Amino acid sequence: MPADKDHPDVIVLPPVALAVCVAAAWLAGRLWPAPFLPEGFARWAVGGALIAAGLATELWALLHFRRAGTAVLPIRPTRAILSTGLYRWSRNPIYLAMFVVVFGLAVALDSLWFFAALGVLFVVLRWGVVAREEAYLARKFGAEYRDYARRVRRWI
């Protein structure tokens, strides 16, 4: 694999996709409010807990990447397949954590727009990022990655 092509060639960086979806949902909610929770629901506590859980998972996964000495951003070469910790149960815990953060924002801000953003984020990550990462990892690591993919589910 040529050095200049040693990356998955994703259509967008995942943090950028997350930021755009969250910003669009927030703006839509400001312009056209779409609440869904009953009055008195502990939305800040529940939403805050979900956001904290998602951010903690993302931080843990980022530290795992750093310890393995491999790139987190899919515009750089991957040096290793992570298969321990959360990666024993999911091939994409960072993206799952992003979904949990957006879900937490939907609850905390009581806005259906974040569910629409969650759907868009899923489509963009699944077909514009994950599919390309999986093809790249299969090319780069061959049987090692294919065995891992057979053992561990894409999501949960």
Percent of the chain with pLDDT over 70: 97
The pLDDT tens digits of the residues spanning 89-141 come to 999 999 999 999 999 999 999 999 999 999 999 999 999 999 999 999 999 99
Q: Check pLDDT > 90 for residue 8.
A: yes
Other CB atoms within a 10 A radius of the CB of residue 135 amount to 12
For residues 111 and 14, give the distance between their C-alpha atoms in angstroms, rounded to a whole number: 22
Give the 3-state secondary structure of residue 127.
helix
Query: Which candidate, 117, 111, 120, 118, places its Cα nearest to that of 32?
Result: 111
Taking the CB of residue 127, how many other CB atoms lie within 10 A of it?
Answer: 11
Domain boundaries, the chain: 48-156
